[in-house]
């Protein structure tokens, strides 16, 4: 244990059990408690419109954690994460409407459905790598959209309304919708993040990282690369299925447009901007992309009202995709480790502050 329980002045760990602790000092534990307290009080401080964006950020964070498991920690490029979200959303909708299951059973069932489909889709990863695997996941995204659009049981991609949720006598209504789901999504996100953080410290998590770095060297050390890749797809698609179920209930309906290819690209951009292979990046990426989208939406409205461009030139509409694509390119060029690297540097600075060394 460290010489001081308040600040980390060195590495004094002498046992593996000490090395497995998540928080090294009391200061880190205290900062977590303060942060959780701020999160619990956040709905009282934000307007309803911003609170809706916060709910979307948390749902996307669940999906990005799953994408990070597949792409960031295992090195398997996945361009079909939105399709796995869609599988979870439709499975949740069918469980809630056809089987009359409550939401706390329907959403995990959607996660299980996403995990099963994801494991099947991950079978090509046993033979394919890099761009070829990316094309395989892209093919699944297209197949998913086509299949949903031709199945009558799924309304051929039309809206499937979900029943209203009630917890401890509190009913989801028009007036408390955002606050209601904020306090339901937040514990799910925290639980899934802690679950993955602990899985990452086990031999299964270390096996994923070893396969990402060099699958042949991992096989020489006794790790089964194929099993590790399928495990990554299973976990990643399970998280996507949970995110899809949460998104379906939050939107009160399931529509195919919410799980299209553009959402998969958006999720991949969140993972890149946040930082691949980083748990903090799974939160920072959705926060940055959603904030960028809202700011570009406001800027587009302002440009449209100013009439700065000739008639027929719709520059305001092009501003959002332009900013989105430019952000990805700039991060890939100048900060490939994403916002998580900025978070790491900030922590290192305050760990030494006010000293220089």
pLDDT attached to residue 315: 63
Quote the tokens at residue 43: 């709905």
Reported as a single tens digit per residue, the pLDDT across 99-133 is 989 989 999 999 999 999 999 998 888 888 888 89
Residue 314: the pLDDT is 63
Residues in the chain: 357
**Cα torsion 206, 207, 212, 214: sign:** positive
Is beta strand 166-167 parallel, antiparallel or unpaired with respect to 253-254? unpaired
C-alpha 17/C-alpha 289 separation (Å) is 38
Specify the pLDDT at position 311: 64
CA–CA separation, 306 and 137 (whole Å): 43
Each residue of 158-181: pLDDT tens digit?
Answer: 888 898 888 888 888 888 888 999
49-352 topology per CATH? ABC transporter involved in vitamin B12 uptake, BtuC (1.10.3470)
Residue 8, CA distances (Å) to 17, 73, 317, 352 in order: 17, 27, 50, 10
pLDDT number for residue 90: 94
pLDDT of residue 31: 80
| pLDDT at residue 5 in the model | 64
Residues 6+ away with beta carbon under 8 Å from 206: 200
Structure tokens at 338: 């994403």
199 with 268: CB under 8 angstroms? no
- One pLDDT digit (tens) per residue for the chain, 357 residues: 455 566 666 666 777 776 667 776 777 778 888 888 888 888 888 887 889 999 999 999 999 999 999 998 998 999 999 999 999 999 999 999 999 899 899 999 999 999 999 999 988 888 888 888 999 999 999 999 999 988 888 888 888 889 888 888 888 888 888 899 999 999 999 999 989 988 888 888 888 999 888 888 888 888 888 899 999 999 999 999 999 999 999 999 999 999 999 999 999 999 999 999 888 899 999 999 999 988 888 877 777 666 666 666 566 677 788 888 899 999 989 988 989 888 888 877 777 666 665
Tell me the three-class secondary structure of the chain, residue by residue: CCCCCCCCCCCCCCCHHHHCCCCCCHHHHHHHHHHHHHHHHHHHCCCHHHHHHHHHHHHHHHHHHHHHHHHHCCCCCCCCHHHHHHHHHHHHHHHHHCCCCCHHHHHHHHHHHHHHHHHHHCHHHHCCCHHHHHHHHHHHHHHHHHHHCCCHHHHHHCCEECCCCEECCEECCCCCHHHHHHHHHHHHHHHHHHHHHHHHCCHHHHHHHHHHHCHHHHHHCCCCHHHHHHHHHHHHHHHHHHHHHHHHHHHCEECHHHHCHHHHHHHHHHHHHHCCCCHHHHHHHHHHHHHHHHHHHHHHHHHHHHCCCCCCCCHHHHHHHHHHHHHHHHHHHHCCCCHHHHHHHHHHHHHHCCCCC
Q: Say how far apart CA 203 and CA 210 lie, in whole Å.
A: 10
For residues 234 and 213, is the Cβ–Cβ distance under 8 A? no
| Dihedral, CA of residue 347, residue 350, residue 351 and residue 355, to nearest 10 | 150
Q: At what angle do helices 103-121 and 225-251 cross, to 10 degrees?
A: 140
Residue 144's beta-bridge partner residues? none
Distance CA 326, CA 229 (A): 31
> Rounded to two decimals, what is the model's pTM?
0.89
What residue ranges do the domains of the chain occupy? Answer: 49-352
Task: Kindly report, residue by residue over 308-343, the tens digit of the pLDDT.
Answer: 666 665 666 777 888 888 999 999 899 889 898 888
């Amino acid at each position: 244990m460290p010489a001081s329980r308040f600040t980390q002045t060195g590495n004094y760990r002498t046992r593996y059990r000490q090395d497995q602790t998540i928080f090294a000092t009391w200061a880190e534990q205290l900062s977590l408690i303060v942060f959780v307290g701020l999160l619990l009080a956040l709905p009282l401080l934000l307007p309803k419109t911003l609170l809706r964006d916060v709910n979307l950020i948390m749902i996307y964070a669940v999906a990005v954690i799953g994408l990070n498991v597949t792409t960031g920690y295992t090195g398997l490029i996945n361009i079909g994460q939105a399709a796995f979200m869609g599988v979870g959303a439709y499975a949740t909708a069918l469980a809630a409407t056809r089987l009359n299951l409550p939401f706390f059973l329907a959403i995990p069932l959607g996660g299980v459905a996403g995990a099963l489909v994801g494991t099947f889709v991950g079978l090509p990863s046993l033979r394919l790598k890099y761009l070829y695997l990316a094309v395989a996941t892209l093919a699944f995204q297209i197949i998913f959209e086509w299949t949903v659009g031709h199945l009558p049981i799924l309304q051929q991609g039309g809206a499937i309304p979900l029943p209203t949720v009630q917890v401890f006598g509190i009913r989801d209504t028009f007036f408390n919708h955002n606050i209601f789901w904020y306090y339901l999504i937040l514990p799910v996100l925290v639980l899934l993040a802690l679950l993955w953080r602990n899985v990452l410290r086990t031999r299964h998590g270390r096996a994923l990282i070893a396969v990402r770095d060099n699958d042949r060297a991992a096989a020489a050390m006794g790790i089964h690369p194929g099993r590790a890749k399928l495990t990554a797809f299973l976990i990643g698609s399970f998280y996507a299925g949970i995110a899809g179920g949460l998104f379906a209930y939050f939107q009160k309906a399931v529509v195919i447009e919410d799980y299209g290819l553009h959402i998969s690209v958006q999720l991949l951009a969140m993972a890149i901007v946040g930082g691949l292979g980083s748990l903090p990046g799974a939160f920072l990426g959705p926060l940055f992309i959603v904030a960028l989208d809202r700011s570009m939406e406001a800027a587009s409205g302002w440009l449209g009202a100013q009439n700065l461009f000739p008639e027929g030139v719709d520059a305001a509409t092009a501003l959002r995709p332009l900013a989105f694509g430019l952000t990805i390119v700039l991060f890939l060029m100048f900060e490939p480790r994403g916002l998580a690297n900025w978070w790491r540097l900030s922590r290192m600075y305050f760990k030494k502050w006010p000293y220089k060394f």
